[in-house]
Structure 1
Amino acid sequence: MPYEPPPEIAGLSLAELAEAVAARKLPPVEQWAPQTTGDSGMAIRADGSWTHDGSAITRPAMVRAFASLLMCDDTGQHWLVTPVQKLSIAVEDAAFIATDMTVKDGALAFRLNTDEIVIAGPDHPLIARGDAETPALYLAARRGCEARLNRSTYTQLAEHALSLGDSWEVTSQGATFSLVPA
């Protein structure tokens, strides 16, 4: 079956964005308790690229498939989880990259490099890290994993914040987020 990427997020209403989020069927890794653990030999680089034993994984479908099995535990360790195995995966910065954003009906929606859509809010907060000179913004994506906003998405969000005033804060789904690291 051919892969159909979701439409551009700027052209969707908030209801359509929410429907796209709900339509994404992910494996129920939270329900699995594999007895075998090991190392996957995989890594997610800071630029969002994936490797296995040092070689690039270049097929987007493979990246999307592996990403659907990804979770991060309370210690910050990332895992690929199947019903029979739990394999560690090295993550240099964040598991995902936020590559686009749009503002719809009081909500901020982000597209990830895996074509997933995440709507910022109480369950998916925006997190400012770094310092005032070199801030980095992250979005809680799912299963403990985060997405780092790339430069253009960061710029889109900063322009939105500036259009609201000088506070460097944004609101999405009733939650307010500072874009300045604490």
Structure 2
Amino acid sequence: MTGPSRDSAGRSLAELAALLGKGSLPPVHLWHPTHCGDSEMRIARDGTWFHQGSPIGRAPLVRLFSTILRREKDGSFVLVTPVEKLDIIVEDAPFIAVEVTTEGEGRDRRLIFRTNVDDLVEAGPAHPLRIETAPDGTPRPYVHVRAGLEALVNRPVFYQLADLALAEGGTPPGLWSGGLFFPFMDGTGA
């Protein structure tokens, strides 16, 4: 018998759950300054942040920028402060889910994801997990992080989830978390 699940930092699911929502984020939804132009920033499909074509190598700086990222009603993305709003290009999802910690089975399972900018989210009603199918037929799993911002679940994490789903043997294959069942098929039946 194995012990409780732990993340890469050695934290238990209970410790991760206690951290959920602890980090205070700026109230970007309340800030509506005049649009100031282009930030000359881009978030690549692999989650790398760029400024003027060069990768931003300082993780704390990327984390800071991630806290002022907002998705607009038209689907575009901006970096926003109380006094300025700048466009940013997001090639796919702004974040990458790089780790999942799981505990329980079936309807009692809990899945807590960690993103590349150290956000923690528990899949459930407020943070649904969804699967799209890419044009090449490969699955593209996403988890909602906050306010219309999603994280693409990286391939190793998705394989971990798929292994758990297959072991549970449900039809269709999928997993429960936070009281919701997340099937591992998109709406097209793929």
- 1:10 deviates by 6.3
Instruction: Tell me: CA distance 1:21–1:126, structure 2 relative to 1, closer, same or farther (3 Å).
Output: same
Please say if 1:121 is aligned against 2:124: yes
Aligned residue identity for 1:174: G
Q: Counterpart in 2 of 1:154?
A: 158
Q: Counterpart in 1 of 2:180?
A: 175
**Matched-pair identity in %:** 42
Q: Counterpart in 2 of 1:4?
A: none
Instruction: Tell me: CA distance 1:10–1:76, structure 2 relative to 1, closer, same or farther (3 Å).
Output: farther
> Deviation digits for residues 87-142 of structure 1, max 9, x if unmatched?
11101111000001011242110010001111110110011101593111000111
Superposed counterparts of 1:1-182, under 5 Å: 8=8, 11-14=11-14, 16-105=15-104, 106-130=109-133, 133-167=137-171, 168-182=173-187
- 1:31 deviates by 1.5
What is the CA–CA distance in structure 1 between the aligned matches of 2:21 and 2:111, rounded to whole Å? 16
SS of alignment partner, residue 154 of structure 1:
helix
What is the CA–CA distance in structure 2 between the aligned matches of 1:107 and 1:9, rounded to whole Å? 18
Aligned residue identity for 1:70: L
Aligned residue identity for 1:138: Y
SS of alignment partner, residue 26 of structure 2:
coil
Mind listing any 5+ residue stretches in structure 1 that lack a counterpart? Answer: 1-6
> Deviation digits for residues 44-94 of structure 1, max 9, x if unmatched?
000110101111111101100000101112322111110011111101111
**Preserved contact between residue 71 and residue 142 of structure 1 (Cα < 8 Å):** no
With the length of structure 1 as denominator, give the TM-score of the two structures.
Answer: 0.89
What is the CA–CA distance in structure 1 between the aligned matches of 2:113 and 2:130, rounded to whole Å? 14
**Preserved contact between residue 13 and residue 112 of structure 2 (Cα < 8 Å):** no
> Deviation digits for residues 2-40 of structure 1, max 9, x if unmatched?
xxxxx74763133x2222122111111112121233211
**Preserved contact between residue 130 and residue 141 of structure 2 (Cα < 8 Å):** yes
Instruction: Tell me: CA distance 1:156–1:102, structure 2 relative to 1, closer, same or farther (3 Å).
Output: same
**Preserved contact between residue 9 and residue 109 of structure 1 (Cα < 8 Å):** no
> What's the Cα RMSD here?
1.7
Aligned residue identity for 2:23: R
What is the CA–CA distance in structure 1 between the aligned matches of 2:103 and 2:27, rounded to whole Å? 29
